[in-house]
Amino acid sequence: QKEVEQNSGPLSVPEGAIASLNCTYSDRVSQSFFWYRQYSGKSPELIMSIYSNGDKEDGRFTAQLNKASQYVSLLIRDSQPSDSATYLCAVNMIGGSQGNLIFGKGTKLSVKP
Amino acid sequence: GAGVSQSPSNKVTEKGKDVELRCDPISGHTALYWYRQSLGQGLEFLIYFQGNSAPDKSGLPSDRFSAERTGGSVSTLTIQRTQQEDSAVYLCASSLWEGREGQPQHFGDGTRLSIL
């Protein structure tokens, strides 16, 4: 069964710290990986995409991909209270029954002032 | 507009009534998805459409749920004889479809459905 696993949290970090969010996936041939942010009462918003092993940085966000270990992570540097949200990991899985992406259930992040 | 548009934004109806939810995807996106999200829960996949292919209905929870996509664009999700457990936010997303390489999905603002 094709799965994407995330720790549900909540993950609590102090303002200014680095928040580290992790995601593992079951399909070795997955090629595309995405992170979404979902504020309470809002719809998911795409914040990062990564396709190759290694790190990809965008402002305070860094996505890290390790295909051999089948995990992808999101680092948020200098965390702000406005980063408090649920973060969803999404992975493409060929032949999946849910279209091109499988979503994890999300990790809730709380950044304390 | 440039994004995925859903209507209505809120719907309150009595148990047993039928409801129709509408989704207008981003222009040029051939794939369209419906999800359901209950309070504090993850995304529950319902159905997706890709081009002219038969839709994948594997996530529909019962035969009271159906969806169609006319002309490869606008989609309607219909729930017949609504039950209280149908109360949730219904999210629509669309994406390009590039074969093996997954494309990001872009979400609408959702329809909040409340069954009294």
Residues of B in contact with A46 (CB under 8 A): 104-106
Least Cα distance to B48 among B18, B93, B89 occurs for: B93
Q: Do A105 and B41 touch (CB under 8 A)?
A: yes
**Phi/psi of residue B85, nearest 5 degrees:** -70, -5
Nearest-5° angle of CA B57, CA B62, CA B63? 80
Cβ within 8 Å, pair A49-B100: no
Q: Mind listing the pLDDT tens digit for each residue in A59-98?
A: 999 999 999 999 999 999 999 999 999 999 999 876 665 6
Q: What are the pLDDT digits (tens) for B85-110?
A: 999 999 999 998 766 567 899 999 99
Interface test with B, best of A42, A98, A108 (most B CBs within 10 A): A98
Q: Would you state the pLDDT for residue B53? A: 84
Phi, psi of B9, rounded to the nearest 5 degrees: -80, -30
